[in-house]
Amino acid sequence: MFRNINFLKLLNSILLIISLFLITNCSNNSSMKPEDFKNKEPKLIIEEYLSGNVKAWGVLQNRSGKVMRQFSADLDGKWDGNKLILDEKFNWDDGEIQNRQWQIIKLDENNYEGTAGDVVGKAKGYSYGSAFKFEYVLLVPVKGKEIKISFDDWIFKQDDRVAINRATMTKFGFKVAELTVVFVKD
């Protein structure tokens, strides 16, 4: 009798795990794709939008949504017809100043590759309609060490001057933080 009860508990646990796995996979398959925005306006051509001076303001939230840090940033981009050199200067509310230089190459109408000093390997970019998606792994300093954090970065153009950026940061597939940024082109 006790064997049957334990077996039923084990079977229920296995069915629950399988159900959760299937639900998770189904929701991932319906997640947002860059192609979903191919007919949306205004069109975001990242090398044009980020050429010249762009100001930005943002908040970094932990996985439960609590704002941990805020920043302002100055971006200066130069497009040479094939490659965008983008200099970023972040001024964090705790006094930290962070600089990054991106080199972003346009591979074709919709695909880009990018590199920066604190990016592991190459970033992959996808541009469709009003959206630009950028996927990369960033070395983030934490308590004297650098840890690898995956970024799923989306920029949505609002008009000729304003774009909004939402980035989800993950480690081992688990969300660790989110970043929201508003860009304003001079």
> Tell me: the pLDDT tens digits for 47-103?
999 999 999 999 999 999 999 999 999 999 999 999 999 999 999 999 999 999 999
Residue 59 and residue 137 in one domain:
yes
Residue 13 and residue 72 in one domain:
no
Range of the structural domain that residue 1 is part of: 1-31
Structure tokens that stand for 136 in this block: 């990369």
Distance CA 64, CA 29 (A): 24
Distance CA 96, CA 84 (A): 26
Residue 91 and residue 120 in one domain:
yes
Residue 23 and residue 101 in one domain:
no
Residue 53 and residue 25 in one domain:
no
Structure tokens that stand for 135 in this block: 């996927």
Distance CA 1, CA 127 (A): 61
Give alpha helix (H) positions in the chain: 2-29, 46-49
* pTM of the entire predicted model: 0.83
Give the rounded percent of residues in the chain with a pLDDT score beyond 90.
81
Q: Can you name the residues that pair with 104 across neighbouring β-strands?
A: 84, 114
Can you say whether the dihedral through the CA atoms of 145, 102, 185, 41 is positive or negative?
negative
Compute how many other C-beta atoms are within 10 angstroms of the C-beta atom of residue 56.
18
Burial label, 44 (beta-carbon count in 10 A; 0-12, 13-18, 19+): buried
Residue 26 and residue 116 in one domain:
no
Residue 26 and residue 95 in one domain:
no
